[in-house]
Amino acid sequence: MNRINQLFQDKKSNILSIYYTAGFPDLDDTLKIAEELERAGADMLEIGFPYSDPVADGPVIQASSKQSLDSGMDLNLLFKQLKDLRTKVNIPVLLMGYVNPMLQFGVENFCKACAEVGVDGCIVPDLPMVEFEEFYKGIFEKYNLSNIFLVTPQTSEERIHKIDALTTGFIYLVSSAATTGKNLQLSQTTDDYFARIAQMNLKNPTMIGFGINNKSTFDKACQYANGAIIGTAFVKVLAEDKSAESIRQFMAEFA
């Protein structure tokens, strides 16, 4: 059992996962921010490895990715930065990014490096499910890595059940078809979407992301899922003040 499965076994609700971009705001901040987030009460971390064409990301995360890339961040450097991860951080850690850098690095090399530094899983939104199942599922299993699939309001029930069967961690419920950074708006359509997922009795836990930016939207999301993921709102905080006190103040809102 990896750390992701252990988390959902130990804590069934109100799980808080925080996303931030590796190498932002400064190149050597990656591990420091992880440490501060765990101290401040995060249950799980998603560290973004930046890419030049982040199609699912809104302007805030796009800007953080560009700054990180301009500073020299790449996967080789990220894995070097994370070599001491498990001497400093105990909670589950995932890497989130796009398939192109992963393919350039080599999928097996990528998974092996994740296992060596103690990363528990990956979220690669543009990795097609059929390609994962045919070419990469065995590699992920070899290194005990969870691959997290995304579900949107447009995803068919047939595909959701297929995702559920392939999932070994949790299912990422995208709150809307928008990019990251949009505020969560619970319309009747959104309400029906979350209710439809809940009624499917999936075997895996679920986390809601995209548009979770304060205690109110976090609490709303937790009514429908095991927890929620906050990204843009936290990246905004780092852009203004990356101090430990600033991180603690942000996290205190969700306590």
Task: List the catalytic residues.
Answer: 46, 57
HSE-up (13 A, CA, CB side) for residue 219: 6
The phi, psi pair for 93, rounded to 5°, reads -130, 130
